[in-house]
Structure 1
Amino acid sequence: MTVIVGRNVESARLHDAIARLADGRGGIAWIEGEPGIGKTALVDATAEAAVKTGCRVLRGGGDELMQAFPLRMIADALDVSARAADPARVLIARLLRGEAVGAATFDPVLAAGERMLELVDRFSAYRPLLLALEDLQWADEASLALCQRMARAVDQIPLLLLATSRPVAPRTTVSRLRALLRDRPGVHLDLGPLSTAETLTFAARLVQGEPGAGLRRELARAGGNPLYLREMLEAVVRDRALRDSGGVRELSPGAATVPPSLQAAIARRLDTLSEQTVGALRFAALLRRRFDVGRWAAVTGRSMPEIVQAADEAVTAGVLVGAGDRLTFRHDVIRQVLSDQLPEAVRAGLHRHAARVVAETGAGVDEVSLHLAATSGPLDAWATTWLADMPEAMLYSAADVAVGLLTRSSAQPVDSDAVQEALLARLALTLFWLGRDEQACQVAVQVLDRTADREFASRLRILAVRAAGRLRRFDHALELAAPAEPDLPLHCQARLRAWRALILLNLDRFDEASAEAHLALAEAQSCGDSLGIGFAHNTLTYLAAEPDQLGHIDAALAALGDDAESTDLKLLLTGNRLVCLLVNGRRADLDASIADALRSAEQKGSMRIGVVYAQATNASYTYGRWDEAVAYADRLNHELLASPSMSYLHAIVALIAIHRDDRATAEARLQAGGFLDPADQGRWVGAFGPVADALALLAESRGDLAESLALRAAYLDLPPGPGRAGRCDEAAYLVRAALAQGEPALAEAAATAVAADPDPSPHRLLVMRFCRALVDADAVGLLTVASDFGQWAWLHHRALTLEEAAYVLAEQGDLAGARTAFGQALAAWLDLGATWDARRLEARLRPYGVRRGPRAVRRRPALGWEALTPSEIHVAQLVAKGMSNPDIAAELFVSRNTVQTHVSRVLTKLRMRSRIELIQQADAIGRAEG
């Protein structure tokens, strides 16, 4: 049993958290303090309390040597291993080794992360779970991101996330996680030094007597740090430097000097060990935080009996702890002292030796790379060959490390041109994977300049074209995609031609793009190249009219195979398919497709999941499911939301906030997207419709109608074509704003522009009719359009059209008709939660005597059983049966994250703190459905 001196308040708060956990309520605990201050002791005591109450306990920690290896901290905590009895753990281990990439998986890190979250969900469904993660200052970035996601789920699963960290210089991800945890209810502890009284109590227990005056003076040097105190006191006890005088323990005259620092105290402990054991421990200090005894024996060259003897001696001396074949240092400061005892050159040499030994024993990529990355300068010949021969998929399990090693190896002389080309190609592929397009393009061009393998070169050329395109350097991309050589294999020609067509499209050279894309499709079909067929259909999707786009997408999806490139393209096409379903009003198909796409992207692990979340956000906003829209947008991590292609989602959340009269949130989201800088606003407004809409609506909400109109008028600067047709909503907003500002010519120009676009989608046709009816002050036409918007379930458009119809009717003196339209518009706005729009509607109609009556409709309740949607009631029923989120996801054929969103909203609406409360109210759920 762990005995802690002092920390009574801290211990009590953590024990309260365990009591809540045992009762089914999750939570967060954050412990911060300097090395040796007692963080681990508190974690030990908390874990013991959790076990006593029947909770499951899992523990792991950050590892300074493993920071560049994604998800290794969480994998350590979940005991992920290829030797595990649990198939789920084995699969995660294979993913992290890069051994399970293919049809079922695209990005091994993302796929492993989703499966880890699923594992935590399942564990906590069976009994409350304490997940203790120490030393987060050394955690890998992917593990920290996963911690953020788990922290957002503790309100709905019995999970206590307990994290510890040293106070360190700001590190973006750690700081963001710390802020997230501290902003949420939970236990937040900053551990300071022990008081003088606590220090004396601590010392009395260790020396079995009251410390004398001389010993007290020495204890003061420890500054109240428990680890330093323990090391200091155990050193003087080992040295027999204490004498007893009537129950008072005092330093003996002439006793050895008390260790002047924590490091010195630890060094003195190590001096008690045999030279052979200390030598073996220095090797162990170069291994992972928790290391395998067999691996330790291999790198030291010792026999198993010899290494077991060293382990026993180190455990007895309090240097190592552990059980079975897994060991760890009792405190990381001990490992650091051992490592620092080695000169840098010797340490690097030992890492080189260890890398080769573990590679020869068939260890995973991360174990070999760990040691290679700890060295500098040229790699040994065996290491460059190892990198060149490694399956490509394995590079992606620790892509940043792979880039570092490949950069070093490709810059040094190697045995053959083939090895050099392989290293450069792998470097280009990994850089492209990481989104480092500038470098990827440069390295790919290097390969093109030196290789004689034309098929190999065509693959790298396409990569360079795509990288330049992602950088929006379309002229350079077109140069790279120059017409292929005639004797290039036909499937290579077809693929390259398809990408050249896409670049021409981005340069607005539509006729050339169409000709190239159709020729690429014909070439790919003639040689049966499925990937080339997919590339060609993908380009033709952007060139085709709306009714034909789905045909190209479905043809591409049907043709593509299961390799990594095809899987990536499938997910991209799926995102485009969602757009087509949205603008064509196929809501049922859209909802089913979103569920399928999210489930697939989560299981396969793809950055394309961001595209799916983006389209789910768009769809939910369009259909008036604004809470869902915000939830989908917030599913994207900070890095994705900051990317230029995804940042517009901030604008959608800002739009919802403005409609709901929350200008502060709107401004914060627009600031986060970088949209409030006047120098950049023109670029953003021209690129993204939601940004233009949000900035204009924000200006209108501030009463600056002139600024709002100026922003709306940017629609007329868009060139005719598919891009402008896809932003037809802006024409409706411009017509409305222009008429309100007495600019009928501007309104007519907008109505004419939207009518000129050839796009036959139902959405654009309805917007066109709205614009014409509003310009003509045709109240009947507006009411008809409002009814049609309602038929398509485009609720925001319906509400806006009803508002304009009410205003036109009032202007024309038809107050009875105006009151009817007003009541319908008010109900529509309130049902969306659009309180700002409702207030605007009332202000516009008040001068005509049209007001909200005593029986005016009220919006749907925000809280209570009546606030639940049918989908939420269904999910609540399954939760009440005791099902975990992954089980519910499988039952409903949706993604686990979608279920988590539903559960979180159910708990919020019902003002419940945990799913246990939901289970306890199963009868009420049945009544809610009835």
Structure 2
Amino acid sequence: MSLQRPDLWVGREAEVSLLCAAAQRLRGGSGTAVWIEGEAGIGKSALVAAVAASAREDGCEVLSATADQLAHPLPLRVMFDCLAVDPSSADPRRAGIADFVRAGRPELFLGGDTASAAAEMLIGLIDELCTAAPTLLVLDDLHWADDTSLALCQRLVPAATQMPLLLILSSRPVARRPQLEQLRSVVRSVGATTVPLGPLTGAQVSGLVSGIVGARPGPALTRLAEQANGNPLYVRELIDVLVRERLLEIGDRAELRDPTSGAVPTSLAAALGTRLSFVPAATMDVLRIAALFGGEFAVTEVAAVLGRPAIEFATDLQEAVTAGIIVEAGERMTFRHPLVRQALYDGMPAALRAALHRDAARALARSGTGTLRVAQQLLAAGVSGDRWARGWLLEATPALAARAPRIAAELLRRELEHDLPDDSDRAGLTASLARVLLGVGEHEEAARCARQALVATDRGPTHWILARALLAGGRNEDAEATLRQSLNEPGMSDTWRARLLASLAMILRANSGALDTADDTAREALRVARSAGDAFATAYALLDLWTNHSVRRQHLSALECVDRALEILRLAPEYADLRTFSVHGRIFTLQNLSRWPEAEATLREARQLAHRTGQTDEGLPDVTAAVLMYWLGRWDDALAELGDAEWSPTAMTYQGLRERGPALLRHGVAALIALRRYERGKAAAYVRAGLNLPVSTVADRENLDFLRAAQAVDAEQQGDPRRALELLTPVLERGPGEMTLTHQWLPDVVRLALTVDDRTTALVALRVSGAEADAEQQPARAAAAHHRCRGLYDGDAESLRTAVSHYRESGTTVELAGSLEDLAVVLARRDDPEARGALHEAAETYRELGAVWDVRRAEARLRELGVRRGAHGRRGPRATHGWEALTPTELKVALLVAEGRSTPHIAQSLFLTRRTAQTHISRILTKLGMRSRVEIAHAAFLRYPERIRADR
């Protein structure tokens, strides 16, 4: 979008001053967001243009775009236009993002979203641009923008305050657009600047007229100008028409030559229509074709539809430019006023418009234009039953679904409403619709379409879609029946037979916990997959076996399976979603083997690979990383992995079935940390959010344990240990096929049971912990938990010392502190003087975690036994503000900020996701009481000059 600074400002001085002040702060490194709202023509774009021109003159990067007026805007279209993301871009970052989107394909295992991945890439690009120079980002006419762009804006608004980014968003006051209302809400919640633009006053209108014509308006002209209702565009267009038609007499004042003449336009539409009346017929023909493309168009697109080289209508196009009807917009062109385009478009009969859109679609397809532009024309045509369009749609749906699934779904639905003579065409379109609907989460309709398509399509992939839709809709038994039926059909290819078998193995474990049957099915899938040479099915079957081994606590066998899967997927980058799941599984298994450094290394390597290959890293297991950091005692890092902002769960669960699993785990981890730090208000919000999620599947139950533990701590803090025990005892019963790591909570069950003198429950917990330990192929984490349970139940200090030694060696700080506390209690009951030392180490470890509640509980337990830490062991509370409050990771991030590194670069350097790095920066700003990265950098140079120079 080209931002043109107006030659004349009237009535907007305060708004210009406010925005210029924001631009001045931007030059100093402080960003913010600004929301401008007003009706069409009220001056939003002109206001922004004035600030943009000033910012550009001061060396700021200025990027802008206007959302297109289309019934179905393309995902991220306005963001791509604003950031000049194009395959032909000289900037490899921009070209890489465009190529990623162009090659986008739905992921087979977890169900990928190309637009969401691209949004992450765009945020990273914006961050890098802001690191290079203060950046003004202007997004105009957001009422026309697609939901994906609006969702990205929701994330940019709070981020703008943490980087040199001035984000200006403008919109008409459109109601009943949920995503737009959410964006408005985010703007308000972060205290961003809001600029409502109302109509000019009568005096301001007179001033504007005077500025345009060079003389004060007379009474008749003033009355006519009042019909503009204070809209500057209307005023300018009226005066332009009056001057062009020589209807004004200008002397000491400007007045209408004939105040009673009916020839004087009395509406904006009439004014615009008069502008078009001067355009030659040939130019009007070109403009009508251009109007088919929405607000912006490429000259090559018009040429394709006209069937003429551009040189043949160049004169006509130049005529429109000279008349001020169209203007340049980078490599494209746009109508100067949207209402001009609308007048041209609405002026054509509906039947003609439909025919032109249909012809445009064919012409664009022949010329090699992207599928999205062709699809938009077909959509606008509003007709179905065209054989060419049907054939094009069947071929183009996979590419279209990856980029714009809603458009693909609507075109397919509309085509299917037509009476199709060819059953194979109907089946093909229905199968395509089922796949698209599965990708956008409309599971019930996806299943219905898949069943219809089974009549005459390739049954392997269609059965797969049907089973996945049923699973996602919670109909596991129906999904199992569907897979069994499909596997009994003759003629199934080995590739799809292997994939369906692998899916069936997963469902058997989840539905009934029939591990032996699931194993047999997975091994058969593995055999068939190897015979077919299908990497996806081979890795999928290995992950089925990994799951079953993990449920049995055969962690060495599980590790072997997941490592084999990862090796296969290393040579198959097209299955990135399955690789992500495999990385998650490897981290999980290494934790169970108490090989925590290797688990960390796996996470680092996975993120390093994502950075090195240019992939979006947000699909990597943030929640898995948070659980890892929780047990290692790096709670601030765990919370950063979870993020402070509204969190949207991925489709990844332990068995790849449900979306709720990670959400339950996320809320549970955050709540447990908050409660142990005695931040009860925060914890209550997380607990409520977790409890609002339904728990009905194996995946849900497997991810519920942290939330249960948090509820138990909450009850204990309220002085009700018996209630705490009741809340935690469900972990004693692990359902068939369930993977939940019960051993990590059993020491707390034993402790609580003994506290309320319930030795029966304590004994049950001890026996369960023994069974968990016995199941391990190699004594590891469950064995250590059993030593701790036995030490508590029997008062056996040696068992507890064994647990302490294990946790100290493996590095699990949280479990080490708990074991030391339990050891101190057992020693105190024997009057052993070592009790004080164990208590002191436990309390100091808790203090480092910020676990205020655990310190209080430990000291209270020992105080009852006559043991106190003594004054020498007490220290002040952890700092919450200033440099001393920064965690080691936050300090590293602050120093990298001081070196001028972008967020993606910081993330890459520290093996974080971009979003996690941004969370760290946000917390640094809060703890230091600062507003921008520039302030962080300045303060860091003063405090750590030697360290920053050394790091460089």
Query: When the two structures are superposed, what TM-score results if normalisation uses the length of structure 1?
Result: 0.90
User: Is residue 752 of structure 1 aligned with residue 767 of structure 2?
Assistant: yes
1:460 and 2:462 are equivalent in the alignment: yes
Letter in 1 for 2:49: D
Bigger Cα displacement from structure 2, 142-151 vs 122-131: 142-151
RMSD: 3.5
Structure 2 counterpart of 1:316, which letter?
T
Matches within 5 A, 1:315-394: 315-322=321-328, 325-390=331-396, 392-394=398-400
SS in 2 for 1:311: helix
AA paired with 1:730?
A: W
Using the TM superposition, give the Cα deviation of residue 481 of structure 1 relative to its aligned residue in structure 2, in angstroms. Answer: 1.6
Mark the CA change 1:676 to 1:125 in structure 2 (over 3 Å): closer, same or farther. closer
Q: Which residue of 2 aligns with 1:497?
A: 501
Matched, 1:924 2:939: no
| Distance in 1 of aligned mates of 2:813 and 2:622 | 21
Whole-Å separation in 1 of the counterparts to 2:340 and 2:635 = 53
Please, which moves more after superposition, 682-691 or 338-347? 682-691
Could you give the per-residue CA deviations for residues 641-677 of structure 1, whole angstroms, max 9, x where no partner exists? 7942332112222222222333222222333345389
Shift of residue 314 of structure 1? 3.0
Tell me the SS of whatever aligns to 2:785.
Answer: helix
**Cα distance in 2, alignment partners of residues 423 and 174 from structure 1:** 33
The 3-state SS of whatever aligns with 2:173 is coil
TM superposition shift of 1:620? 2.0
5 Å-filtered alignment, 1:451-600, equals 451=457, 456-482=458-484, 483-485=487-489, 488-506=492-510, 507-544=512-549, 545-560=554-569, 566-598=575-607, 600=609
Distance in 1 between the 2:163 and 2:490 partners? 61
Contact 2:661–2:702 (8 Å) recurs in 1: no
* Pairs within 5 Å for 1:410-809: 410-412=416-418, 416=422, 418-451=424-457, 456-482=458-484, 483-485=487-489, 488-506=492-510, 507-544=512-549, 545-560=554-569, 566-598=575-607, 600=609, 609-610=618-619, 612-634=621-643, 638-640=647-649, 643-648=659-664, 649-675=666-692, 688-719=704-735, 722-724=738-740, 726-757=741-772, 758-760=774-776, 762-778=780-796, 781-782=799-800, 784-809=802-827
Work out the CA distance in 2 between the residues paired with 1:341 and 1:872: 60
Mapped to 2, the partners of 1:165 and 1:864 lie a distance apart of 39
Match of 2:205 in 1: 199
Quick one: distance in 1 between partners of 2:188 and 2:629? 31
After superposition, what is the alpha-carbon deviation per residue over 1:302-333, rounded to whole angstroms, capped at 9, x for unaligned?
A: 66356433433333333322267521122333
Question: Residues 297 and 334 of structure 2 are in contact (CA less than 8 Å); yes or no, is this contact kept in structure 1?
Answer: yes
**Contact kept? 1:540, 1:552, Cα under 8 Å:** yes
Cα drift, residue 335 of structure 1: 2.8
In structure 2, C-alpha distance between the alignment counterparts of 1:317 and 1:565, rounded to whole Å = 51
Per the alignment, do residues 225 and 702 of structure 1 end up closer, same or farther by CA in structure 2, a change over 3 Å counting?
A: farther
Note if 1:184 corresponds to 2:190. Answer: yes
CA deviations 1:594-644 (Å, max 9, x no partner) are 233345567889999456122112212222222222222238865437942
Amino acid at match of 1:476: D
* Matched-pair contact (CA < 8 Å) for 2:215–2:251: no
16 and 81 in structure 1: CA distance in 2 versus 1, 3 angstrom threshold: same
- Of the three residues 896, 903, 909, the one matched with 1:885 is 903
Q: State whether residues 20 and 26 of structure 1, in contact with CA within 8 Å, keep that contact through their aligned partners in structure 2.
A: yes
Q: Secondary structure at the match of 1:645?
A: helix
Whichever residue aligns with residue 339 of structure 2, its letter is V
**Does the C-alpha gap of structure 1 residues 852 and 537 become closer, same or farther in structure 2, counting only changes over 3 Å?**
same
Distance 2:345 2:853 in 1: 63
- Looking at structure 1, the residues matched to 929 and 377 of structure 2 have their Cα atoms a distance apart, in angstroms, of 51
* 8 A contact 2:427–2:452 mirrored in 1: no
Is the Cα contact below 8 Å between 2:546 and 2:558 reproduced in 1? yes
CA shift digits 1:789-842 (9 cap, x unpaired): 3433322333333344445555x2748555434333332222112234334445
**Paired AA for residue 743 in structure 2:** C
Offset, 1:581? 2.1
Query: 2: distance between equivalents of 1:56 and 1:358?
Result: 34
Equivalent residues of 1:67, 1:141 under 8 A apart: no
Partners of 2:699 and 2:44 lie apart in 1 by 50
CA distance in 2, matches of 1:366, 1:118: 25
Which one is further off, 30-39 or 92-101? Answer: 92-101
Distance 1:223 1:783, change over 3 A: farther
Q: Which amino acid aligns with 2:199?
A: P
Match of 2:851 among 811, 815, 834: 834
Give the residue type in structure 1 aligned to 2:272: I
Structure 2: runs of 5 or more not aligned: 652-658
The separation in 2 between residues aligned to 1:756 and 1:515, in whole angstroms, is 25
CA–CA separation in structure 2 for the residues paired with 1:370 and 1:778: 74
Task: Verify the 8 A CA contact 1:63 1:138 in the aligned structure 2.
Answer: yes
Aligned AA (2:810): W
Mapped to 2, the partners of 1:60 and 1:833 lie a distance apart of: 47
Partner SS for 1:646: helix
Given that 1:38 and 1:227 are in contact with CA atoms closer than 8 Å, whether structure 2 keeps it comes out as yes
List aligned pairs for 1:256-271, cutoff 5 A. 256=262, 259-271=265-277
Question: Please, which moves more after superposition, 476-485 or 857-866?
Answer: 857-866
- Does the CA contact (< 8 Å) of 1:842 and 1:852 recur in 2? no
**1:54 CA drift (Å):** 0.5
> Which amino acid in 2 is paired with 1:463?
I
Which residue number corresponds to residue 81 of structure 2? 76
Distance (whole Å) between structure 1 residues aligned to residue 691 and residue 42 of structure 2: 42
Is contact 2:216–2:252 with CA below 8 Å preserved after alignment?
A: no
Q: Label 1:540 to 1:680 Cα distance change in 2 as closer, same or farther (>3 A).
A: closer
Distance of 2:280 and 2:718 partners within structure 1: 76
Report matched runs for 1:285-300 at 5 Å.
285-300=291-306
Deviations 1:247-267 (A, max 9, x none): 354573323466554444433
Larger deviation, residues 889-898 vs 742-751: 889-898
Residue 879 of structure 1: how far off its partner (Å): 3.8
Cα separation, partners in 2 of 1:640 and 1:372, compared to 1, 3 Å: farther
Alignment-mate amino acid for residue 196 of structure 1? G
2:745 alignment partner, SS class: helix
Q: In the TM superposition, what whole-angstrom CA distance separates every residue of 1:374-408 from its partner, at most 9, and x where no partner exists?
A: 23341421111112223734531112211222233
Aligned to 2:238: 232
SS of 2:944's equivalent in the other structure is helix
Q: CA deviation at 1:49?
A: 0.8
Q: 3-state DSSP class of the match of 2:260?
A: coil
C-alpha separation in 2, matches of 1:675 and 1:852: 44
Of 337-346 and 635-644, the range deviating more from structure 2:
635-644
Aligned residues of 2:662 and 2:703 also touching (Cα < 8 A): no
Which runs of 5 or more residues in structure 1 are unaligned? none
Structure-2 separation of matches of 1:684 and 1:566: 25
CA 837–257 in structure 1, closer or farther in 2 if over 3 Å, else same = farther
For normalisation by structure 2, the TM-score amounts to 0.88
Structure 1 residue 467 displacement after superposition = 2.9
Letter in 2 for 1:711: L
CA contact (8 A) 2:722 2:752 kept: no
Corresponding pairs, count: 922
